[in-house]
Amino acid sequence: MRFSDSKRYCPMTLYPLETLEPKATVNIVMVIEMKIGIALSGGVDSAVAAARLIRQGNDVTGYHMIVLEGNPLANAAVDDARAVADHLGIELKIVDLREEFRKILYYFATSYMSGETPNPCVVCNDSIKFGLLLERMFSFGAEKIATGHYARLVSLDEKIFLARALDRAKDQSYFLSRIGKHKLQNILFPLSEMTKDEVRQEALAIDLPVHSKKDSQEICFIPNGDYRSFLKSWGIEGKPGPITDESGNLLGRHSGLSGYTIGQRKGLGVSGGERYYVKRLDLERNRLVLALRESLTSDSLTAKDPNWYIDPGDGFECLCMIRSSMRAVPASVSVLDGNRLRVHFPEKVWAVTPGQLAVFYMEDRVVGSAFIEGNSVLESGDDT
């Protein structure tokens, strides 16, 4: 029996939406009998999200985007998406965005060339998944679009905000914080109040063909984590140069600065008793500067190109994350001229990394984000 043939049958009553604890903000979860396009990645999260929307009585169509050529994992994902759609009894449309996705690859490569550490998932979410794919769904008549992301949409003072998911360990609001606020009213996150364990249980209960599929941990276009080979395929050849400590003492040689990131400890090719970390990429001298861990802390950073969900005024107090894996910490944001910000931390943060994203929260709500330029240590450089 296919899922769609079961009509109102669905073991998801194990986690009924109606029994969720009330919150200060109104969580946007249920949409009844609408035409909804859902991004089916071929993974368990989007599959369960689709099943929940069908259960609510919606007219659901699946969309799977192809962004890579000749990638075995991408080919397998298409097959899995088709299997999920067939099991759920819904149509699956394949959207070819390979040419458009090359802009993400170009951004990734050129960021490393300029000494930054790119965040391709953030840029892809904004311009591809919630950009071109969203537009394609609407062109086919979708009233709302949905994904299997772990995030919430909440309504406060007649405004819609992106917010953290119930499952903090899986929360993806950091990666979604570049989505324009005008798009939020058109988006649904059916997994917003679920934990990953509950998603797995639900997938098994309704016999989804991907119920045991492992989560992806790598960047989709670099599944083996070999950044240098990818950069080489884009014609970015490393130029050998010195590795030094902060005083200029020679510690070794590198084969090219591209691919290193601030805070990196493994794969430095430096022997000895000290535990060194990458502190600075000196592009002018083609030098990799290492330092001890405590030397990588900073109490401020500058950032550019903010995306706001509020009017920031001259600045505000908030919680801030400067990487997806860190906990949010208190911060003060000051708005500068030229579409730039300065962020001050009462307690120092570690490894401020140019190119990564600073995301600002008030309680659970995302109020803005901006790309990190650097901190006072990186901006000052040294004269060694």
Laid out side by side, the sheet with 144-146 consists of: 92-96, 59-66, 35-39, 144-146, 187-188
SS3 160: strand
Select from 157, 113, 155, 149 the least CA-distant residue to 130. 149
What Cα–Cα distance (Å) separates residue 209 from each residue in 202, 206, 261?
12, 9, 38
Q: Is there a catalytic annotation at residue 318?
A: no
Q: Which amino acid is at 382?
A: D
- The DSSP string of 297-342 is EEEEEEEEEEEESS--TTEEEEEEESSTTSPPEEEEEEEETTTEEE
SS3 125: helix
Q: Is there a catalytic annotation at residue 220?
A: yes
* Catalytic option among 121, 124, 318, 320: 124
* Catalytic option among 121, 220, 318, 320: 220
Residue 359 Rama label (left phi>0; alpha psi -120 to 50; beta): beta
The total of other beta-carbon atoms located within 10 Å of residue 138's CB is 14
Q: What is the dihedral of CA 310, 185, 42, 259, to 10 degrees?
A: -20
The total of other beta-carbon atoms located within 10 Å of residue 23's CB is 12
Binding-site annotation, residues for ATP: 39-46, 65, 148
HSE (CB half, 13 Å, CA atoms) of 72? 2
**Angle at 163 (CA atoms; ends 159, 169), nearest 5 degrees:** 175
Binding-site annotation, residues: 39-46, 65, 148
Active site residues: 124, 220
